[in-house]
Amino acid sequence: MLKGLKELPLISKILFGISLVILFVWVIPSMVNYFKNVQKQELKVSELQKSASKYGIAGSAKPFDKEHFIQEMLKSVSKTTVEFTGDKSYDVNIEIEKDKIDNFNALLETLSLQYLVEITSPLEFEEKDKLIEVKMSIREL
């Protein structure tokens, strides 16, 4: 093989050298990073699946859809409004009966397993006509 390399024209040798440098400096590190990230991702997927199965949620989280979110919330709370505030963020306003605050807690626990969102503000509770109004901000992941 070395003999074969020696017989190559100069331009071929130079190109071969450049190829080797690129291989070791760029390609192999990229490959190693890629396979490390694959393992890391598999771990995360497994963690999330474990959490989801704890709450009986099948499938992975969906991108946030305002209308779908409102419809789903209304199954557990009295009223829900969602207002887009820019930069993938929304203000969410929920009204719930006082004795059904557990429903809200259940929704809160599964929110990020069902939708690709995070809560970015403290929860603001306020009593209004025997209902509790909860305000929070969420942002799409």
Partner 1 sequence: MGNQHYVTITHYKEREFYFLNHAIQTHDGFIAKEMEQFHESEKEKFIERIRELQSQYPQSQVVSISLALNQKVFDEVDNNRASAKIFTNNYVIQDKIDIGNIPTTLYFSPFAILYEEYKNRLDDKLTLLIGLFDRKLYIMFATNDKIHESWTIGTRGLTEKQVADRVYKSMKMYYKISYKFADHIEMLVTDDSPKLLKVLREELSLSILLRQNTIHNLLHHMSGEPKRTISSYIKSSLSKIGDDSFNQTSEGVTAPQSIAIENLDDLKLNSVHSENEFVPNQKKSILGNSSITGNMLQNVLSFLPLLFVLGMGAFFSMKNDTIEKETLRMESQSRAQTNNTLLAMTTDDIFSAMGKNAELKKATISNSRVEVKGVVWGIEPLRNSLNDIYSDGEFVIKPLENFMTEFSFKSKI
Q: Does 79 bind partner 1 (CB under 8 A)?
A: no
**Cβ pair 94, 132 in contact under 8 A:** no
Q: Smallest distance, Å, CB 113 to partner 1?
A: 6
Q: Residue 93: which of 66, 113, 114, 112 has the closest Cα?
A: 66
* Six token digits for residue 29: 């590190």
Stretch of 69-77, 78-86, 89-97, 123-131 lying at the interface with partner 1 (CB under 8 A): 123-131
- First CA to last CA distance, the chain: 53
Q: Does 102 bind partner 1 (CB under 8 A)?
A: yes
C-alpha–C-alpha distance, residues 24 and 2, integer Å: 20
Contact footprint for partner 1 (CB under 8 A): 7-9, 11-12, 15-16, 18-19, 22-23, 26-27, 30-31, 33-34, 37-38, 40-41, 44-45, 47-48, 51, 61, 98, 101-102, 104-106, 108-109, 111-113, 116-119, 121-127, 132, 141
